[in-house]
Amino acid sequence: MTPASTWTHSELLSCTSLLCFSFRMSVQTIRNVFSVETGYRLSDDQIVNHFPNHYELTRKDLMVKNIKRYRKELEKEGSPLAEKDESGKYLYLDFVPVTYMLPADYNLFVEEFRKSPSSTWIMKPCGKAQGKGIFLINKLSQIKKWSRDSKTSSFLTQSTKEAYVISLYINNPLLIGGRKFDLRLYVLVSTYRPLRCYMYKLGFCRFCTVKYTPSTSELDNMFVHLTNVAIQKHGEDYNHIHGGKWTVHNLRLYLESTRGKEVASRLFDEIHWIIVQSLKAVAPVMNNDKHCFECYGYDIIIDDKLKPWLIEVNASPSLTSSTANDRILKYNLINDTLNIAVPNGEIPDCKWNKSPPKEVLGNYEVLYDEELAQGDGADRELRSRPGQSLGPRGGRSRDSGRTVLTTWK
């Protein structure tokens, strides 16, 4: 396929139709297609854009649950990846904020909250997107009020209550122009066993329209705290021309000019590390159906110490456009995704080895290929890269020259 920026309007519409009617299914449709009750079976020339149980990664509660399980399994195996610092924090796998499930983990949450009663927490419904149902709290009484308002008599009564996750709020985000932002990165997985994933180079930053303040008086102001376009587009200061977005390339240039190239490169290495480890965490439980591929929308926040945090993973990242640049980016994303899922625009064949040639990757680049990694011994022997840290630092110096673990390249 030719680059989307050179397509005619009719070609763009044709491609969009191809994606929607031949490949793109909603998560509910996927659930029905793979349901035992329906008895439906996909033929060899049918491929779909979700794995059957994608929610193991894309539901907020299950993502955290699987990452916690992954860390414990590595710890049990004695893997160096599960190494901890003096305070008990993981050196390389501490990339999700402290999180509990409500109502199930309410007592555990209260115990943690009382250790640092001045902290702020963010509550999110497990099954919603676009910032719906999210709010911040800094008092236990606010949780009790939420429980009463949602007509639940007890935190132990789960059958009538929507599941939420509550996470320690990153109250020291990296600010640019005084505003909070996050990264939306696109990651394509063609197979989980062996794991093969691709990073899209044209991600972007989403900025809040109101300058950030950690003041408790602004906890209810979502224009300060939530970067979702679905929220920010209703703000008075929303810019419809650039949509409050910055390309990842521009972010990298900004960081290189203000912090240096080495620091910027290390940050993006750490982001790539987080993504690969999150996929490895769910790979054992993912139904690796041969008819499936999936393009995820990863949301990453960077704190003022340049530590990246995985916030959530979206199963159906928005393909609608809010600006002209957005439209070009997403048409290219669709085009490049299809070129990997269906090389050369041929009739789909779920039996092929899902290893497309480099020339069809477009703006994607291989992030991790498990077969190649094992062939190189990367997953059997931990390599040494002095002075570079790919996972969170856990208090260790970045330039200490100590052996650093890399298993994702």
Say which range, 120-134, 197-211, 328-342, has the weakest mean pLDDT: 120-134
Q: Is 409 helix (H, G, I), strand (E, B) or coil?
A: coil
pLDDT at 395 over 60: no
Separation CA 344–CA 360 (nearest Å): 8
Separation CA 61–CA 225 (nearest Å): 21
The rounded mean pLDDT for the chain is 82
Q: Which two tokens stand for residue 131?
A: 């910032």
- Looking at residues 112-136, what average pLDDT do you find? 87
Q: What pLDDT, on the 0 to 100 scale, is given for residue 80?
A: 95
189, 288 contact by CB (below 8 A): no
pLDDT at 366 over 70: yes
In terms of Cα–Cα distance, which of 224, 219, 203, 231 is closest to 308?
Answer: 203
In terms of Cα–Cα distance, which of 268, 93, 249, 272 is closest to 197?
Answer: 272
Give the model confidence (pLDDT) of 301-310 as tens digits: 999 999 999 9
Q: What pLDDT, on the 0 to 100 scale, is given for residue 131?
A: 72
Residue 164, H or E segment: strand 164-168
Residue 186, H or E segment: strand 179-192
Buried b or exposed e, range 234-244, using 16+ CB within 10 angstroms: ebeeeeeeebb
205 to 69, 300, 318, 401: CA distances (angstroms): 30, 9, 14, 32
Separation CA 95–CA 392 (nearest Å): 7
Cβ-based neighbour number of residue 24 at 10 Å: 18
176, 221 contact by CB (below 8 A): no
- Paired residues of 197 in beta bridges: 189, 368
Separation CA 96–CA 397 (nearest Å): 20
pLDDT at 138 over 60: yes
Q: Which of 25-39, 253-267, 362-376, 388-402 has the highest mean pLDDT?
A: 253-267
Number of helices (H), then strands (E), belonging to the chain: the values are 12, 12
Q: Is 263 helix (H, G, I), strand (E, B) or coil?
A: helix
Lookup result for tokens 């591929």 = 293
Q: What is the distance between the terminal CA atoms of the chain, rounded to a whole angstrom?
A: 28
Q: What DSSP line would sit under 64-110, residue for residue?
A: HHHHHHHHHHHHHHT-GGG-B-TTS-BSSS--S--EEEETTTHHHHH
Q: What pTM was estimated for this model as a whole? A: 0.84
Say which range, 61-65, 315-319, 372-376, has the weakest mean pLDDT: 372-376
Q: What pLDDT, on the 0 to 100 scale, is given for residue 217?
A: 78
Separation CA 79–CA 74 (nearest Å): 5
pLDDT at 74 over 80: yes
Q: Give, in degrees to the nearest 5, the angle at Cα 238 between 253 and 167.
A: 75
Give the model confidence (pLDDT) of 251-271 as tens digits: 999 999 999 999 999 999 999
Q: Is 140 helix (H, G, I), strand (E, B) or coil?
A: helix
DSSP state of 346: P
